[in-house]
Structure 1
Amino acid sequence: MKGMRFFQSVQSKIIIIYVLLILMAMQLIGVYFVRTMERSFIDNFTSSLNTQADLLAGFSKRYLTEGQDAGPSAEAKKSNAELNEIVKLFNISDAEIQIIDANGIVLTTSVSSKASLIGQKSTQAEVVSALQGIKDIESVMVDSDGHRRKVVAQPVSEGAKVLGAVYIVASMESLYGTMNRINKIFLSGTGIALAFTVLLGIVLAHTITNPIKEITRQASAMADGNFSQQVSVKGPDEIGQLGNAFNHMTNRLKEALSLNEEEREKLSSVLANINDGVIATNDQGTVILANRKAKQMLQPASDDMTDRSIWDVLGLEEGHIGQYVQGEHQIATIEIPNEEEGDFVTLRVVFTPIHRRGIGITGTIAMLQDITEQEQLENARREFVANVSHELRTPLTTIKSYLEALDDGALEDRALSHRFVGVMRNESERMIRLVNDLLHLSRLDSRKGLVSKVPTNVLDMLEEVADRFSFQLDQKEISIQIEVAHDINEIMLDRDQIDQVLDNLVSNAIKYTPEGGAITIRASRTNKDWLEISVQDNGIGIPKKDLARIFDRFYRVDKARSRNMGGTGLGLSIAREIVKAHGGTISLDSELNQGTRVSFALPIPPLEGEAV
């Protein structure tokens, strides 16, 4: 495997390519050099043989001429002996020299072992051609030993007359031996050159691949999130330019990731602190992200939302989710049980599909908004409108019916008409009280009911309240007791508005306390800076189920009885708003058939000129 990896590396490819290029170049040069050298050696060898054959032909011309003139005489033998001496002078290594007369008879030979050929006719084709006057005859022959020999034949002529021929057969083995030695030297040089080439290729490949390896290591480090390292640039070449470009890319990526991380932190902070719940899903509807608010809204309905389907988390039908995601409805309303308060939390869910170019919808963002208070306010508004309409309709219907009765003839009956007018007057006053209460509440809600605080003696204020209701108290034989702590004298408050609160509380106590009952008004300090005033009776009390809504507008425990007593159902609401405008709190405790205690606490501001 390591060997395969080596051959797959850029370094090995560069080395192999470099070595192959050098090897091919050296082979081409070697083949050309060897072929050229071989041709040169052979040509020089042949030229040397031809030169010696020409010289020998020139020396032997006189002897061949004398031999032909003398015939087979002693003079001819002498001439042949002299030719033999001349042939021996031309001592060519590993060669045979023959002098042949015009008849093709071998006159002499340089090889003593072939002396038997003297006097015999030569049948060599080269000799035949030379005797015909053809010059520079040459050929190559291979003897029985496999040795290559060069054959050269030159005619010996005088003018147009051919006197004989010179025949030389020289061995070429020394020439080819020299060629083989040169080839071996060349191969050795090639091997040494290839070794140096491999070393140089390794060095060259290292100079190219080392920066690439460094860039690869840096890329791996970047993939692991390490952007602190830089690629070392060692030159202005292409590798150096690549290193500079990579370092620039590293810095830009580092900046981009830092910016992305900063944006992610901002997004995480926004998601963590946003007042709306956020749930993100993938294209399969599986929850992949939910912020803290969403978990709080859906707890304990869903302990862990991640990897769960969104319809399971939200309690919706699976088939309907597709409609919301595709944008057909986009908004859904769900209710989550609130175990702490024993009721339900109403949530509005707004679905927004996530689109990716070329792919389509890849997920969904669901925004959860708690609209419980909004729904309660809307229900309260509807109930308020219905209550006002009902409260106005009843007296208006009464007035209309009495007017119709008067118009039908009851006006002629003085006693009856007087009673009808009295009823209509009472109903009109009731409507006026209702409208005044609504206007008062409106001013308090819009903060237009300014609090004008003046120094007020608490004991005097409570005694005046008792005096205002003395007639009603005497009628029902109800006793009233006022208890003011000794450390309470004058405090700063809006006398008119607090009188209105006390009048409402004492009026309610008188209404719902039977004859012979008792009412107690107490004033005390709960601590140094707070005044608490309470109105307690021993009347019919209020059921526990109604205590939570007793301060709501138009809320009555016994609607028919309260209406008959002239109440509008706004008294306690106005009292609560006045107390809140003073920065205080109001509460009510009651036991059915045991009585009711309403208390409100006000902060005690310093009197004018008093040290704070």
Structure 2
Amino acid sequence: MLARLAHFVRRSIARKLTLTLVGFVAVTTLLGGLFLSRALDRFAVETLEARLASTGRLLHDGARGLLLRRAPPEEVRAWVVQAARPTETRVTLIAPTGRVLGDSEVGVDDLARVENHAGRPEVREALEGRAGRDLRTSATLQAPLLYVALPVHDAGRVIGVLRLALPLSVVMASREAVHRVMLASGLVALAAALAIGLFVARRVTRPIVDMQDIARRMSAGDFTARAPVRSPDEIGTLGRALNAMTARLRGEIQDLQQEQAKATAILDGMVEGVIAVDGRDAILLMNERARTILGLGAARPEGRPFLEIVRNVNLHEILRAVRGAGEAGMSRHELRLAAPTDRRLQVNAVPLRLAGDEVGAVMVLHDVTELRRLEQVRTEFVANVSHELRTPLTAIHGYLETLLGGALEERDNARRFLEIVFRHTERLGRLLDDLTDLSNIELGRVALRLEPVAGDEVGAVMVLHDVTEWRRLEQVRTEFVANVSHELRTPLTSIHGYLETLLGGALEERDNARRFLEIVFRHTERLGRLLDDLTDLSNIELGRVALRLEPVRLDEVVDSVLAIIAPRAESGRVALAADLPAGLPAVSGDRDRLAQILINLVDNAVKYTPEGGRVTVSARPAADGRVEVAVADTGVGIPPADLPRITERFYRVDKARSRELGGTGLGLAIVKHLVLAHAGELAIESTPGRGTTVRVTLPPAAPQ
């Protein structure tokens, strides 16, 4: 019941105000009544005390005479009765010993049964020479009495006690009358307080109720209502503030709606799909591109569960992973989406901090299908070019070996072989011409004469799509074509020239003919190495190279590599050294491919280190458990501007020196891709004139 009443009161400010006022009046009336009652009681008792004391002083001399002459009980009885009659009090005369000598309410025969009064509080004080008083129920009369005891003096000594008592029935009657008046007054005050409280509460809360209605309308989106301002007090100030807030909110919401419309238009115009999800896996936002990628149609899925809308396990795992990783959980993934169409998606995901501890996620879906197709085209192009060049080059190489093996002595066969080789070089030349033309066209180096076409006036719609990466890949592909053509053109031109010379008559000069054929043979070997490197790089990029991962001891690989490179180093007077600590952990890798990596790095270091220089191969455990292998030389170094591009295909710092040393320009590109295939890292540091250090970090072998 009390709980219901409390709930009823709490639901209304008017009830609270009314109850507060009524309660205040009730408590004030009660406390005032109690105080007044106690004050009246005290006043009445004090008045009676004064009356009894005055009566006692009037009776003092008569009582002293009775005590001095030791009057008999009958005389004392007659005196106290006579003294009590006009004042309606009870009069008692007491000896110094506490024995009652006479009492107006007790007969002479009953005095013997009255107990000694020496221990009564008022009597005790009177025997000590002071006026005593006490308020208690009489043991004799069984009624509440007010006692006043006065000492009876003679010659400065107390010879007895005169005690007067008055029943409190008179005081009680007066107090009950006062209480009735006070109760009636309190009820009237409560009724008045209730009426005033209701009036004031309604007057005070009416504007608040109006404001409550306005706030409810505002929460529903209606910002046209205004609060009435009826007074200049705090409620009026609150009404004005509410009106100002309503106007400001109306403007801010309009601005927010405009911004939201802009954001929606921007998001829907993006070429990337954007998905935002809250901590309960409900979709907060999904733009049009994301809906298109996922094949969801035009219906907006905001507010619906992510699991219900997006039926892709990989995206769900990305969402859980990035949300569980906290603020540092930014991640990038690439996955294949089979439905509704076959796509390759690059997904960037970051956690989204919401209210409280709730963590959602934002995922950006970038369709890289065309990007990966271009990469595939480029790598397949390498394989196709290598295949097309391999057939005539193999034939040329075979005929040259035949000629150098003795067929040069047979004039007719030698000429016929040279004519066949010449035709193969012409075929290679035509292929390179076609590759060069294709490269020039794609690079925009072919000027076209464009003429205006008449027509109606046409406006335009512009969609800005960042195709930097696509164009970069296309540029890499076309530049690669140009580089391949250029790298093949140089030895092929030389081969073609020597063959023309031989067919033009130099075949008759035995020594020159052999020397020319040996030069042509070396050029074909260089072309073969170039095609081998191109094929190897293409296979690595296409994933056609299967790594046989096993625990590999680097000291064994380094020893075998140094043994292979040692003859070249000795011919160039370059010192080779190995610095591998004992107990070096084994790495996880393909032994042959790791040897290929180190052969490329050490061979490059020897090529570009002058006489008297030094090449050192070292290894050490890294802090994260991996193993770092370093190839350091004291060679010419690499300029800082060339370092970022040093691992690109056909990129050379010193092109003439590289070709002179037989380099293809693909060694470091192969090294980079092989290191990445081993889940390793490649870093190059160099100072021009002081040398270069190439660091390869490899994962450790799994414990056996």
TM range (shorter): 0.3 to 0.5
Give the TM-score of the pair, scaled to structure 2.
0.42
Give the TM-score of the pair, scaled to structure 1.
0.47
Tell me which structure has the larger Cα radius of gyration: 1
Q: Which has the higher strand share?
A: 1
